């Protein structure tokens, strides 16, 4: 199929895709949309300019959307992706969800993997939580729902057989989970008892329908994982999708998103959810009834904290999309009104990434003046010195940091470390000092 779509067709197709699939294709990405649609037209064996007009003229139906979706989305997933998230689950989230439960009673932790792709995330959650509960000696069991709009992905997920490419975290690094798989030729099959904990269903987060009650526990989901899905949605579709997730969340339940997917105006757009910091990362949690009527009464400290949380969301959005100068601008605007060591650290990260090494050093020094025990700031400054050949200064900082970390519990997650524990950072320091 050699014919291309016109600019007008690209624009109208982008509007149609946004309305039916929630995927956002702004003008600068509409050429990507057109290329994906050409591949779809080739699959259908139709001229793309005729197929797009037929698509735009008719009402969308489920099979059509499921057929087109694989051409517009990236199925990038593997087992135990983002290990830091799993560490936060075991250290903070799961204990909080079990608080108040009788561990000897047979209860269920319900988890939803929204946008589960080919199932690796859903099975990872089942394996990880089942192993964690077993080690705890709890009678509680886990039940996982995986949903996606792509029927082909779900069919592969239900087969529960994966090649080595799905184990890029490497099972050798996760030896305790290896028994949950059985070798099947040159592939690995999820063990039957674990596969039995997971069910899959087709569901369009951007559609008009709600999640069917047969796929949702009556008490709601304790944990919903929806990472790197909403980033492709328009702002309006993001809020609509989050409302669907919130409606199926159990009291006190958590939603895990990618950092840039948390709405900046959460309080006004989604008052049923609150932003909570766990181990240096933000999650969403259903608002307890007793707090629902207490909004706005936190005082000056609460206002400053809310302001910093909004700043963090903008920062992640800009950095994750390569808009580093905009990240610097919003950080400087915030710092013009308050001296905040956390914002100085974030600014130093951007300055390091853009090669402004002198500015990064100055930001880190200011940060440490305000908060001498900011471990990650001291480590970043020391690493910068070592990289630029200033070994004496770097070694001195690392030795001081090592003494400070000796006072921290070894399994404690360090703020702003993306899930690194004190013992893990100590190991890195020891290797640098050799």
pLDDT tens-digit map of 415-433? 887 778 888 889 899 888 8
Q: Write out the DSSP string of 174-237.
A: GGGGGGGEEEETTEEEE-HHHHTTEEEEE--TTSSPPPPGGGS-TT-EEEEE-TTSGGGB-HHH
Say if residue 381 is in the same domain as residue 419: yes
Say if residue 185 is in the same domain as residue 47: no
Q: Which of the pair, 37 or 349, is modelled with greater confidence?
A: 349
**Is 275:284 a contact under the CB 8 Å cutoff?**
yes
Size of the chain in residues:
434
2 pLDDT band, cuts 50/70/90, is: very low
Last residue of a domain, one of 72, 91, 114: 72
Q: What's the confidence (pLDDT) of residue 222? A: 95
Distance CA(355)–CA(233), nearest Å, equals 31
Q: What's the confidence (pLDDT) of residue 7? A: 85
Last residue of a domain, one of 72, 97, 121: 72
Distance CA(236)–CA(84), nearest Å, equals 29
> Which residue do the tokens 């000696």 mark?
137
| Domain presence at residue 409 | yes
Phi, psi (deg, nearest 5) at residue 382: -60, -45
Say if residue 170 is in the same domain as residue 274: yes
Distance CA(313)–CA(257), nearest Å, equals 12
CA distances from 54 to 13, 231, 264 (A): 11, 28, 38
Distance CA(167)–CA(30), nearest Å, equals 33
Distance CA(151)–CA(141), nearest Å, equals 28
Say if residue 175 is in the same domain as residue 323: no
**Is 429:398 a contact under the CB 8 Å cutoff?**
yes
**Mean per-residue pLDDT for 211-217?**
83
**Is 264:313 a contact under the CB 8 Å cutoff?**
yes
**Residue ranges of E strands in 53-128:** 108-114
Q: What's the confidence (pLDDT) of residue 206? A: 74
Neighbour tally for 124: CB within 10 Å: 26
**Is 331:356 a contact under the CB 8 Å cutoff?**
no
Phi, psi (deg, nearest 5) at residue 385: -60, -45
363 pLDDT band, cuts 50/70/90, is: very high
Q: Which of the pair, 60 or 399, is modelled with greater confidence?
A: 399
Say if residue 312 is in the same domain as residue 253: no
67 pLDDT band, cuts 50/70/90, is: low
Q: Write out the DSSP string of 229-273.
A: SGGGB-HHHHHHHHHHHHHTEEEEEEEE--GGGS-TTHHHH-TTE
Residue 74 CA to its chain's centroid (Å): 15
Question: How many domains does one find in the chain?
Answer: 3
Distance CA(5)–CA(107), nearest Å, equals 54
**Mean per-residue pLDDT for 363-390?**
91
pLDDT at 87 over 80: yes
Say if residue 63 is in the same domain as residue 112: no
Say if residue 268 is in the same domain as residue 287: yes
Say if residue 370 is in the same domain as residue 261: no
Out of 156-160, 185-189, 413-417, give the one with best mean pLDDT.
Answer: 156-160
The per-residue pLDDT for range 269-313, each reduced to its tens digit, is: 888 898 888 877 888 999 865 554 444 444 334 444 446 766 776
Q: What's the confidence (pLDDT) of residue 417? A: 77
Q: Which of the pair, 43 or 110, is modelled with greater confidence?
A: 110
**Mean per-residue pLDDT for 133-141?**
88
Q: What's the confidence (pLDDT) of residue 406? A: 83
Neighbour tally for 184: CB within 10 Å: 12
Task: Report strand pairing: 161-162 vs 187-190.
Answer: antiparallel
Question: Under DSSP, is residue 112 helix (H, G, I), strand (E, B) or coil?
Answer: strand
Last residue of a domain, one of 270, 291, 312: 291
- Domain hosting residue 164, numbered range: 83-291
Distance CA(144)–CA(70), nearest Å, equals 23
User: What is the token pair recorded at 107?
Assistant: 């209860």
**Mean per-residue pLDDT for 209-233?**
83
**Is 217:110 a contact under the CB 8 Å cutoff?**
yes
């Amino acid at each position: 199929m050699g014919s291309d779509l016109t600019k007008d067709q690209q624009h109208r197709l982008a509007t149609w895709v946004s309305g039916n699939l929630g995927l956002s294709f702004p003008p600068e990405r509409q050429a990507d949309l057109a290329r994906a649609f050409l591949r779809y037209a080739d699959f259908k064996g139709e001229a793309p300019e005729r197929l797009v007009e037929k698509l735009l003229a008719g009402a969308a139906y489920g099979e059509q959307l499921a057929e087109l979706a694989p051409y517009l989305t990236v199925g990038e997933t593997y087992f135990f992706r983002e290990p830091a998230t799993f560490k936060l689950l075991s250290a903070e989230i799961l204990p909080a969800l079990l608080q108040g439960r009788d561990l000897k009673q047979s209860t269920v932790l319900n988890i939803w993997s929204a946008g589960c792709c080919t199932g690796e995330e859903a099975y990872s959650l089942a394996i990880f939580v089942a192993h964690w509960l077993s080690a705890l000696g709890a009678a509680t069991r886990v039940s996982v729902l995986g949903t996606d709009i792509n029927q082909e992905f779900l069919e592969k997920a239900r087969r529960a057989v994966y090649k080595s490419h799905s184990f890029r975290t490497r099972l050798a690094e996760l030896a305790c989970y290896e028994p949950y798989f059985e070798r099947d030729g040159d592939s690995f099959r999820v063990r039957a008892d674990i596969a039995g904990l997971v069910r899959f269903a087709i569901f369009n987060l951007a559609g008009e329908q709600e999640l069917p009650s047969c796929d949702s526990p009556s008490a709601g989901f304790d944990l919903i994982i929806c990472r790197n899905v909403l980033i492709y949605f328009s702002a309006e579709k993001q809020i609509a999708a989050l409302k669907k997730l919130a409606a199926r969340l159990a009291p006190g339940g958590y939603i895990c998103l990618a950092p840039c997917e948390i709405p900046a105006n959460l309080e006004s757009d989604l008052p049923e959810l609150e932003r909570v910091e766990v181990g240096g990362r933000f999650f969403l949690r259903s608002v307890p009834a007793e707090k629902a009527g207490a909004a706005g009464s936190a005082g000056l400290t609460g206002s400053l904290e809310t302001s910093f949380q909004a700043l963090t969301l903008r920062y992640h959005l800009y950095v994750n999309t390569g808009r580093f100068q905009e990240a610097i601008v919003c950080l400087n605007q915030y710092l013009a009104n308050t001296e905040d060591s956390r914002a100085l650290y974030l600014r130093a990260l951007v300055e390091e990434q853009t090669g402004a090494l002198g500015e990064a050093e100055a930001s880190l020094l200011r940060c440490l003046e305000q908060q001498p025990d900011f471990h990650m700031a001291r480590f970043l400054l020391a690493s910068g010195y070592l990289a630029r050949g200033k070994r004496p200064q770097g070694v001195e900082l690392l030795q001081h940091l090592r003494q400070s970390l000796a006072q921290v519990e070894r399994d404690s997650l360090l703020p702003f470390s993306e899930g690194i524990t004190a013992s893990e950072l100590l190991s890195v320091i020891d290797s640098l000092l050799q």
